[in-house]
């Protein structure tokens, strides 16, 4: 039997490179996947490519409370449950913002990133959790990044938002594990996606690969396979952890 037979999973940021591979993996593992992002054309392309009756797509802007409500209403109206929430949506890569010194980053810039990466994940989590508590079971996965653990000398707004996700995960576990809810943070290293690699010079691309003892970039499928495992009963006694997927660059 597939790992996630009949589980209802929500994936945000599903139009993106990692998000779409996560959708594909969850569908392959038998889940019903409700996929959201702002670019509906990309979502429709994904649904057409997978050509499965197990996928629903709908526009979702995680920075808008009403859009998140509409999305959850669609999921609940059709399926009446939410077994897994995978918060992949992330603020678009902006090289100028990325390389600003901390003292040059404006409050508005920090809040703009927070609004998507942290608040967007929180918004979806607080809608999913009461449903999961009622079902006595559910999994929330937040996509973070290794600088959230180590800090780094640039990308300040991004690091702050990704670090806040670690505490969101831990809070969910502390408060809701007794109701059967599990939560995880995935701290990703360098995962080869166009939005990330296209802003790098060839030298920067090689230097990023060399950060990991594996001396390479990771692939989106290497993130997706961890997600399907964590969503499944095979991970039933793991809770609240930050799982680092980075080829061994950061070891704890
Ligand atoms: N690639 C890496 O090396 C790496 C490393 C660490 C962490 N991550 C994290 O992994 C996630 C996916 O990254 P990726 O590399 O696959 O980049 P990507 O292709 O740009 O994916 C980002 C996704 O977020 C969505 N998004 C942005 N703003 C949104 C909003 N307001 N509401 C809903 N969706 C929104 C985008 O879709 P729309 O534009 O259609 O809304 C897109 O689907 C992000 O959270 C990123 O921070 C990536």
Q: Is 26 helix (H, G, I), strand (E, B) or coil?
A: helix
Q: Taking 90 as the threshold, does the pLDDT of residue 250 lie above it?
A: yes
| Percentage of the residues of the chain whose pLDDT score is greater than 90 | 99
Residue 17 CA, ligand 1 centroid: distance in Å: 8
The single residue of 158, 176, 179, 184 carrying the catalytic annotation is: 158
pLDDT bracket for residue 151 (50, 70, 90): very high
User: In the sheet where 138-145 sits, what is the strand order?
Assistant: 55-59, 32-37, 8-12, 84-87, 138-145, 181-188, 242-245
pLDDT digits 0-9 by tens, 209-226: 999 999 999 999 999 999
Under CATH, to which class is 8-190+220-243 assigned? alpha beta
- Let me know if 179 is a catalytic residue: no
pLDDT, one tens digit per residue, over 186-216 is: 999 999 999 999 989 999 999 999 999 999 9
The whole-chain average pLDDT of the chain stands at 98
Task: Express each pLDDT in 23-54 by its tens digit.
Answer: 999 999 999 999 999 999 999 999 999 999 99
Question: What's the pLDDT score for residue 194?
Answer: 96
Instruction: Identify the helix (H) or strand (E) that includes residue 179.
Output: none
For the stretch 88-101, pLDDT in tens is: 999 999 999 999 99
Tokens of 146: 């290794």
Nearest ligand 1 atom to the CA of 162 is: 47
Cβ pair 217, 192 in contact under 8 A: yes
Structural domain spans, the chain? 8-190+220-243
- Lining ligand 1 with CB less than 6 A are 12-13, 15-19, 37-39, 42, 60-63, 88-90, 92, 116, 120, 143, 145, 188, 190-191, 193, 195-196
49 C-alpha to center of ligand 1: Å?
20
Q: Cα–Cα distance between 192 and 162 in angstroms, integer? A: 18
Whether 136 shows a pLDDT value over 90: the answer reads yes
pLDDT exceeds 90 at position 59: yes
Q: What is the pLDDT of residue 50?
A: 97
pLDDT at 1: 87
Q: Please, what's the largest Cα pairwise distance for the chain?
A: 54
Atom from ligand 1 closest to the CA of residue 217? 3
- pLDDT reported for residue 134: 98
């Amino acid at each position: 039997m597939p790992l996630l037979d009949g589980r209802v999973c929500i994936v945000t940021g599903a139009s993106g490179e990692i998000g779409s591979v996560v959708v594909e993996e969850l569908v392959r593992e038998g889940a019903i996947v409700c996929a959201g992002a702002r670019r509906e054309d990309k979502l429709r392309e994904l649904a057409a490519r997978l050509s499965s009756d197990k996928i629903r797509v709908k526009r979702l802007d995680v920075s808008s409370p009403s859009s998140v409500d509409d999305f959850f209403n669609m999921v609940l109206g059709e399926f009446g449950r939410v077994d897994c929430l995978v918060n992949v949506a992330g603020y678009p890569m902006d090289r100028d913002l990325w390389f600003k010194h901390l003292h040059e980053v404006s409050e508005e810039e920090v809040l703009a990133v927070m609004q998507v990466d942290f608040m967007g994940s929180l918004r979806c989590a607080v809608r999913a959790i009461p449903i999961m508590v009622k079902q006595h079971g559910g999994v929330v996965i937040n996509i973070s990044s290794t600088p959230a653990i180590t800090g780094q000398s640039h990308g300040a707004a991004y690091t702050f938002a990704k670090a806040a996700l670690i505490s969101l995960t831990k809070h969910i576990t502390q408060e809701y594990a007794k109701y059967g809810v599990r939560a995880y943070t995935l701290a990703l290293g360098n995962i080869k996606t166009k939005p990330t690699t296209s802003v790098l010079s060839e030298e920067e691309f090689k230097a990023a690969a060399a950060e990991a003892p594996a001396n390479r970039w990771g692939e989106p499928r290497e993130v997706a396979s961890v997600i399907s495992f964590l969503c499944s009963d095979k991970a039933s006694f793991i809770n609240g952890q930050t799982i680092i997927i980075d080829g061994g660059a950061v070891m704890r």
